[in-house]
């Protein structure tokens, strides 16, 4: 940030890109985003360093971020946490090498397998049948996967899941390290874990090797900005090379500076900020549970294994008992009450509470949920509750993705092998991934999700009426 301010004060005449020349060439864009924003939308140059090979101000900013997050090194990522997750997997695994991971990973992790040719060893997460949500990985299941696949190179862990559920991160990390495997942690929803002792432990604090952290989610930076943290003996130089395979060479200084500014804010005030977030989420949780019919769940779910810990900032709300799917409540909140929440799935909604929220907005959410129950509640008979379906994996993702395929109507794909993704977004966890069989349970779930209004993505067919299956 300081380097950008110095640059602005120099009144340099720009004969470089971007072509809008500090906003003067695109008045409509400048009027919309503001001159202060456009004057720092600049290109890599000597005074501002280069994200692909930082040697000065970006290198210093990354060192400050590493210190704030307790890592040996931090990389600024401007292609989102998607790029950070892919870089972790591609650092740990080469083509044909195995990686142990939960199947309820974000699509970015499976995309990394398509790119790298690594082979997944899936650990099916636990399930809470009452809520219809997938949980964390059981320590015993991870131990079994390691026993059966001693040649695996790494274990990937969600910390937390979208719903706030955490596995036993420390024990899994120690177990993997005893078997010579790297530990990669998807902490897209765990930025705040580094700045509060009231939340579950962070990846770096338990000795994990790499972590992908979405600063733009709970950390307050601009959308698409993220951190990749590395620890232990992971080679900083090699990770940088992997990052540069897929990350843009034109790193946005708007995104880079937002990471720097947000890191400083959290380093100075993070503990107080996230105490406020915890208090707001707890207040809303208690008020929602008083309504009746809804269930805003929290630490009472902890079972010492598949729910080893719970992120109390997550305001996850089960809706099926009022006879409405989560996606239906999501749509009603937006369309009737002008309230945009993070996502709704088959049985739950997630209201993302973070550093910019106030009591007033949470009161409005609680009031809207109460009114929705009064106006729309119905008998829940016939509601589908299962959120996670155990996949039947036939081929590695890369092999399936690049195989010769053909489009068929969904129902005609039954029993065939899928060559693309099908998922509700958000949260972006695949219902089907390349190389998996289209089973009756998968087909029922997709058709039910479409009927309820979930936003389905991943298929070549934008209407998701057809799916690509591998030619026989």
- Asked whether the predicted pLDDT for residue 386 surpasses 80, the reply is no
Largest CA distance in the chain: 68
Whether the domain at 269-376 and the domain at 397-470 fall into the same CATH topology: no
Q: Which CATH number fits domain 397-470: 3.40.50.620, 3.30.750.24, 3.30.465.10, 3.90.100.10?
A: 3.90.100.10
Q: What is the mean pLDDT of residues 129-142?
A: 93
Contact 4, 56 (CB under 8 A): no
pLDDT of residue 472: 86
Contact 277, 266 (CB under 8 A): no
Q: Looking at residue 131, what DSSP letter applies?
A: T
Measured between alpha carbons, how far is 107 from 425 in angstroms, rounded to an integer? 10
Predicted confidence (pLDDT) per residue in 272-323, tens digit: 999 999 999 999 999 999 999 999 999 999 999 999 999 999 999 999 999 9
pLDDT-derived band at 3 (thresholds 50, 70, 90) equals very high
Return mean pLDDT, the chain.
95
pLDDT of residue 95: 96
In order, the DSSP letters of 47-72 are: GGB-TTS--SHHHHHHHHHHHHHT-S
Percent of the chain with pLDDT over 90: 90
pLDDT of residue 424: 87
pLDDT of residue 41: 95
The sheet carrying 422-424 orders its strands as 430-432, 422-424, 456-457
- Asked whether the predicted pLDDT for residue 111 surpasses 80, the reply is yes
Measured between alpha carbons, how far is 191 from 229 in angstroms, rounded to an integer? 11
Q: What is the mean pLDDT of residues 234-239?
A: 98
CATH architecture of 50-265: 3-Layer(aba) Sandwich (3.40)
pLDDT of residue 381: 84
Domain 269-376 has CATH 3.90.1150.10: yes
pLDDT of residue 449: 87
Predicted confidence (pLDDT) per residue in 188-216, tens digit: 999 999 999 999 999 999 999 999 999 99
- Which helix H or strand E contains 350, and what residues bound it? strand 348-352
- Asked whether the predicted pLDDT for residue 128 surpasses 80, the reply is yes
pLDDT of residue 409: 96
Predicted confidence (pLDDT) per residue in 324-359, tens digit: 999 999 999 999 999 999 999 889 999 999 989 999
pLDDT-derived band at 144 (thresholds 50, 70, 90) equals very high
* 127-128 and 133-134 strand pairing: antiparallel
CA angle 362, 81, 95 (to 5 degrees): 145
Q: Please state the separation of Cα 259 from the chain's center in Å.
A: 17
Q: What is the mean pLDDT of residues 384-390?
A: 77
Instruction: Render the burial of 146-167: b for 16+ CB within 10 Å, e for the rest.
Output: beebeebbbbbbbbbbbbbbbb
The residues with which 184 forms a beta bridge, in sequence order, are 156, 210
Candidates 142, 139, 140, 131; CA nearest to 164 is 131
Predicted confidence (pLDDT) per residue in 26-73, tens digit: 999 999 999 999 999 999 999 999 999 999 999 999 999 999 999 999
Residues present in the chain in total? 472
pLDDT of residue 428: 82
Q: Where are the domains of the chain?
A: 1-48, 50-265, 269-376, 397-470
């Amino acid at each position: 940030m300081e380097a950008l301010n110095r640059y602005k004060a120099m009144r340099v005449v720009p004969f470089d890109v971007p072509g809008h020349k500090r906003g003067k060439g695109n008045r409509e864009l400048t009027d919309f985003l503001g001159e202060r924003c456009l004057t720092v939308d600049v290109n890599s140059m000597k005074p501002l360093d280069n994200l692909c090979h930082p040697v000065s101000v970006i290198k210093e900013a990354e060192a400050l971020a590493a210190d704030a997050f307790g890592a040996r090194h931090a990389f600024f990522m401007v292609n989102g946490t998607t790029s950070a997750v892919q870089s972790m997997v591609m650092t740990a695994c080469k083509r044909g090498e195995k990686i142990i991971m939960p199947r309820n990973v974000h699509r970015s992790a499976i995309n990394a397998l398509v790119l790298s040719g690594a082979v997944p060893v899936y650990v099916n997460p636990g399930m809470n049948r009452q809520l219809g949500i997938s949980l964390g990985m059981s320590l015993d299941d991870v131990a079994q996967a390691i026993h059966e696949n001693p040649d695996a190179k790494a274990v990937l862990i969600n910390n937390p899941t979208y719903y706030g559920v955490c596995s036993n991160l420390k024990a899994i990390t120690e177990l993997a390290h005893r078997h010579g495997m790297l530990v990669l942690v998807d902490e897209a929803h765990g930025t705040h874990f580094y700045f509060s002792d009231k939340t579950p432990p962070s990846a770096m604090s338990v000795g994990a090797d790499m972590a992908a952290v979405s600063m733009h989610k709970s950390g307050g930076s601009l959308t698409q900005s993220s951190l990749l943290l590395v620890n232990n003996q992971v080679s900083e130089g090699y990770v940088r090379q992997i990052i540069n395979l897929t990350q843009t060479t034109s790193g946005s200084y708007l995104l880079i500076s937002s990471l720097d500014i947000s890191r400083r804010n959290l380093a100075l005030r993070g503990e107080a900020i996230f105490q406020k977030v915890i208090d707001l989420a707890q207040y809303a949780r208690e008020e929602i549970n008083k309504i009746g019919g809804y269930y805003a769940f929290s630490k009472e779910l902890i079972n010492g294994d598949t729910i080893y810990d719970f992120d109390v900032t997550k305001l996850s709300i089960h809706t099926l008992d009022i006879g409405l799917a989560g996606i239906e409540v999501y749509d009603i909140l937006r369309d009737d009450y002008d309230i945009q929440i993070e996502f709704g799935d088959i049985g739950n909604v997630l209201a993302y509470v973070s550093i910019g929220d106030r009591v007033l907005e949470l009161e409005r959410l609680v009031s809207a949920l109460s009114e929705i129950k009064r106006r729309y509640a119905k008998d829940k008979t016939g509601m589908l509750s299962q959120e996670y379906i155990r996949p039947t994996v036939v081929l590695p993702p890369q092999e399936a993705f690049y195989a010769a395929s053909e489009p068929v109507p969904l129902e005609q794909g039954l029993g065939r092998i899928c060559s693309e993704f099908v998922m509700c977004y958000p949260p972006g966890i695949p219902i089907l991934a390349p190389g998996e069989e289209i089973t009756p349970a998968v087909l029922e779930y997709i058709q039910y999700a479409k009927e309820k209004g979930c936003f389905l993505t991943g298929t070549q067919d934008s209407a998701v009426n057809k799916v690509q299956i591998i030619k026989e």
